[in-house]
Structure 1
Amino acid sequence: MNRIGLIALLGITLHLPLFGQTLTPEQLQADFTRFRTALAEVHPEMYRYTPKATFDSLFTATEARLNRPMSQQEFYVTMVPLLVALRDGHIKWIVAGRDEHYPFATDKLFPLKLYFLGQKAWVVGNYGADTVPAGAEIRSINGQSIAAIIEKLLPMMTFADGNRIGGKYEDLNQNFSGFYATFIGAPDAFTVVYKTGDEEKTVIVSPVAEVTIKDYVAKKKPVAQKPFRLSFANPQTAVMTIERFWSDKTDPDFKAFLKESFRAIKQNGVQKLVLDLRSNEGGEESWGIRLASYLTDKPFRYYDHISVRQKKKYSFPVWTSTLYKKFRWLAIRKRGDGYVFTLQRGLRQQKPNRDAYRGKVYVLINGASFSVTTELAAHLHANRKQRAGEVVFVGQETGGGYNLDVSGLFAITQLPNSKIDLGIGMFGFNMANSTESPHADRGVIPDQLIEPTITDILNGYDRTLDYVLRISQPEKSALSRTDTK
């Protein structure tokens, strides 16, 4: 499931938010118990990346800290390390009535849009009236070096499966102001030291409100394009862009799009296909499986098994799919020491589509290639030795894990006193033929690593796509592309 869809689901549990009130130790302990119970009864792969003994120690240490009155924000922050320990990028921890990235101090936010790479950050825009030049390197904020700020924020961010950090950097690029306010502070002013060329300057900038940031983002949003589209860079090279694996009523039919596109690819004798999956956060599992059937020449299995935590009814107040609750007795089976969900197309052997493409494929990925998108990328990577045409991955490591994606249906509970919504994925999608991954805790690692520079970002230059088009057509450094969809 994509993150946007889950946030919409969380909206159904909203109550009046709790702001400016203090929670007693008794209230904190009650919410902690609900939190721990929910994870234990719902999360299908709780100990995949963090051993149970380590988790138990974390729970004990966290519970001991809840011995004094706390604000809602203090409790929120105190519990985050437990969520991070799951190494599950789908987990949701959202203050009722608030945007997930701006839960607190929504009128005292950092006023600059930044781009992060490694231990550095650069200005790419100004949200407020105060201005810092685009391209300036930020050296420090309120006396803390940017490297120290990054090192403080990354361990508090959850958008990553396993020990990935690429998704976290994507989150920083989009929502740094919210993370700073939540985990570092929301001051009345920000003292910013920045560098342009060889000159270092210090300025004091005023904070902005959440609404100002969202207005800026809306105005800067690129002109809308169809979320899935095909173009031809040249007679032998096609570029297929899939921005998401879900659609709304205004979008083209995905099934029809694939049918028409691969028929056109076949008719045109395409020898190289560029599959652009960058910043695709996922969606419908069946869409990834359908696309996989167009990129293989042999029957395949997509999922090895789908783990679930338990078959019985949950012991705490929870919202989840009515259909799931009705049919879980038929769909869930005992397997070893656990349980598996059995009613999923991807568990059965799949056949190649008759118009399947068998030539060379370049798959473009980055840290925001997540969920269903990482599943597809992992499948293509794991099976590429059995495929006639070569499959090459270009860009940055995926945000999702190579072997596992915890998502599908969600169980959502609201902690009774702090009014924080906890959303937990109920299904552990374990990929078939995943032995090709050399790292159990990583994503799909590209064959050619390409990271956009600040100059690329400011100039709107797509270094990754240009690289692929150049190596697929060496005699030209830049190729024109004509959309056909």
Structure 2
Amino acid sequence: MKSILITTFLSLLLNQAIFGQTLTPEQLQADFSRFRTALNEVHPEMHRYTPKPVFDSLFTVTAARLNQPMTQHEFYVAMTPLLVALRDGHIKWIVAGRDEHYPFFTDKLFPLKLYFLGEKAWIVGNYGAGTVPNGAEVVAINGKPMKQIIQSLLPNMTFADGNRVGGKLEDLNRYFSGYYATYIEAPNAYEVTYLVGREAKNVTLSPVTEQTIKAYVEAHKAAPQKPFRLTFTEPKTAIMTIERFMGDKKEQDFKQFLHNAFREINDKGVQHLVLDLRDNEGGEESWGVLLYSYLAEKPFRYYDHIRVRQKKKYSFPAWTSKLYRVLKGLAVKKREDAFVFTWHRGLGITKPKPNAYHGKLYLLLNGNSFSVTTEFAARVHTDQRTQPGKVTCIGQESGGGYKVNSSGIFAITQLPNSKIDLGIGMFGFNMANVSANPYSDRGIIPDHLVEPTADDLLNQRDRVMDYALKLIQSHKRSLSKVE
């Protein structure tokens, strides 16, 4: 949530990374102490997925490892298990002055773009001058089986709430080269074993630079479209796409878009609405509340409560929103054994819009459906369960957690010696009326699991959308038979 703004801020912090410098045990322990203090004083849901005794054991083990000199890179890796234990996809761990996905190596990077599904990977692009065919399955890199590589990387990745894996695989799709260099190796050459049909082949490839990868990504971007779109595929069927829950004054007005879109949906008598939220990583919480007001059957509460860790000033240097510092005296209240933030429209009762949609809804999700998007999907899924068949979720499990989302305003501190920035979301957004969901550590699990293949990507075939539209056709045929 607000990840673009937070990442931009972190990249502008004044201190520069100390590449190549060795940190003494005393310096490491000082940074470790700041790290632990920051988590304890800021994170609103620190022990939701990992119990305190387990977390304390992890702290003890990690502290014991910091008894000898380490490089910045070694310290970064040594602290990663603590970040992963939070099971919080919003946590930020960024080397000052560096891209968060390429923290230590700007060259010697893996030169192929891969697509991951399960414990396999396929080639869907070449960053360098290699001639490895797209669509081939990569079975090993420098002698390491791909399954082993994936199993090595996933435990070091944080982009997922709870015990989700889909968000991590989506992150590998975009930043595998950076993860491989950070957590496995950055060699002078890559020997790749791949399959063409059933035939195994080997090729040695030269590494590429971060700049080369980013230039490739920029060159292969899809043609720009408006972030909020409504199309009609046939009578009574509409597709609404919302790429993100944030924008700026130069783009569409989200509030006006929803007003106009749902008026048109009602005017045309739409009975089947596909809401595409794939790759929507979130944004403004209030936008999720607003969108749901156009789908709700009755007045609703969006959040049960918004938890914060404490009300007093932090004991360590940290940046956070000036507005929050001003308002917390009035907005933060003590409730039983916890502090809560009380000023948010999602905490009250929200009425449905007069032109709210009441037909069948088909919600498209994937591992990048995160943060505000998962909150919204959880609200839809929970509140519509009393009307079986009205809402159908299609695609892949969301990256965010069903019951809680830790994000909102961030507190950011820079560790004094390693110069690594730690950003922690201060708000724990606990969804209302979700106790019936049996999974405490999962996201929204689709009714119809539909996973795109590498061949789909290469041929620009939208398997998930095609499935949704075919499902609508089957529903229409069933209805016509009844009539």
Q: How does 1:140-179 map to 2 (within 5 A)?
A: 140-179=140-179
Q: Which residue pairs with 1:282 in the alignment?
A: 282
Q: Which residue pairs with 1:481 in the alignment?
A: none
SS in structure 1 at match of 2:410: strand
Structure-1 separation of matches of 2:84 and 2:245: 26
Q: Which residue pairs with 1:354 in the alignment?
A: 354
Deviation at 1:437, TM superposition (A): 1.6
Q: How does 1:456-475 map to 2 (within 5 A)?
A: 456-474=456-474
Deviation at 1:475, TM superposition (A): 10
Structure-2 separation of matches of 1:168 and 1:132: 25
Shift of the 427–475 alpha-carbon distance from structure 1 to 2, 3 Å rule, reads closer
Structure-2 separation of matches of 1:475 and 1:101: 44
Q: Which residue pairs with 1:205 in the alignment?
A: 205
TM-score, normalisation: structure 1: 0.97
1:191 and 2:191 are equivalent in the alignment: yes
CA deviations on 1:392-439 (whole Å, 9 max, x unpaired) are: 100000000000000000000000100000000000000001123221
Q: Which ranges of structure 2 fall in alignment gaps of 5 or more residues?
A: 478-483
**Structure 1 residues 152-161 or 389-398, which shifts more?**
389-398
- Note if contact 1:367-1:399 (Cα within 8 Å) is conserved in structure 2: yes
* Matched letter for residue 134 of structure 1: N
Deviation at 1:340, TM superposition (A): 0.3
Q: Which residue pairs with 1:270 in the alignment?
A: 270
Structure-1 separation of matches of 2:92 and 2:354: 40
Q: Which residue pairs with 1:131 in the alignment?
A: 131
CA deviations on 1:27-66 (whole Å, 9 max, x unpaired) are: 1000000000000000000000000000000000000000
* Matched letter for residue 426 of structure 1: M
Structure-2 separation of matches of 1:421 and 1:374: 26
Structure-2 separation of matches of 1:29 and 1:475: 62
Shift of the 43–475 alpha-carbon distance from structure 1 to 2, 3 Å rule, reads closer
SS in structure 2 at match of 1:433: coil
SS in structure 2 at match of 1:39: helix
- Note if contact 2:13-2:97 (Cα within 8 Å) is conserved in structure 1: no
Q: Which residue pairs with 1:220 in the alignment?
A: 220
- Note if contact 2:286-2:345 (Cα within 8 Å) is conserved in structure 1: yes
Q: Which residue pairs with 1:442 in the alignment?
A: 442
Q: Which residue pairs with 2:8 in the alignment?
A: 8
1:328 and 2:328 are equivalent in the alignment: yes
SS in structure 2 at match of 1:413: strand
Deviation at 1:388, TM superposition (A): 8.9
Structure-2 separation of matches of 1:8 and 1:257: 27
* Matched letter for residue 225 of structure 1: Q
* Matched letter for residue 359 of structure 2: G
Q: Which residue pairs with 1:483 in the alignment?
A: none
Deviation at 1:141, TM superposition (A): 0.3
- Note if contact 2:12-2:97 (Cα within 8 Å) is conserved in structure 1: no
- Note if contact 2:160-2:167 (Cα within 8 Å) is conserved in structure 1: yes
Structure-2 separation of matches of 1:150 and 1:246: 32
Structure-1 separation of matches of 2:267 and 2:393: 25
- Note if contact 2:23-2:72 (Cα within 8 Å) is conserved in structure 1: yes
Q: Which residue pairs with 1:298 in the alignment?
A: 298
CA deviations on 1:158-203 (whole Å, 9 max, x unpaired) are: 0010000110000000000000000001000011100101211111
SS in structure 2 at match of 1:121: strand
Aligned length: 477
Structure-1 separation of matches of 2:17 and 2:352: 50
Identity %: 66
- Note if contact 1:244-1:282 (Cα within 8 Å) is conserved in structure 2: yes
SS in structure 1 at match of 2:349: coil
* Matched letter for residue 78 of structure 1: A
Q: Which residue pairs with 1:480 in the alignment?
A: none
Deviation at 1:9, TM superposition (A): 2.6
1:376 and 2:355 are equivalent in the alignment: no
Deviation at 1:476, TM superposition (A): 11
CA deviations on 1:259-315 (whole Å, 9 max, x unpaired) are: 000000000000000000000000000000000000012000000000000000000
- Note if contact 1:403-1:440 (Cα within 8 Å) is conserved in structure 2: yes
User: What root-mean-square deviation, in Å, do the aligned CA atoms of Structure 1 and Structure 2 show?
Assistant: 1.3
Structure-2 separation of matches of 1:193 and 1:474: 43
Structure-1 separation of matches of 2:12 and 2:328: 22
CA deviations on 1:178-233 (whole Å, 9 max, x unpaired) are: 00000001000011100101211111100000000000000000000000100001
CA deviations on 1:122-162 (whole Å, 9 max, x unpaired) are: 00000001221000100100110000000000000000100
- Note if contact 1:309-1:339 (Cα within 8 Å) is conserved in structure 2: yes
- Note if contact 1:381-1:436 (Cα within 8 Å) is conserved in structure 2: no
* Matched letter for residue 400 of structure 1: G
Deviation at 1:106, TM superposition (A): 1.1
Structure-2 separation of matches of 1:89 and 1:77: 17
**Structure 1 residues 274-283 or 434-443, which shifts more?**
434-443
Shift of the 316–475 alpha-carbon distance from structure 1 to 2, 3 Å rule, reads closer
- Note if contact 1:122-1:454 (Cα within 8 Å) is conserved in structure 2: yes
Structure-1 separation of matches of 2:130 and 2:12: 38
Q: Which residue pairs with 1:420 in the alignment?
A: 420
* Matched letter for residue 326 of structure 2: K
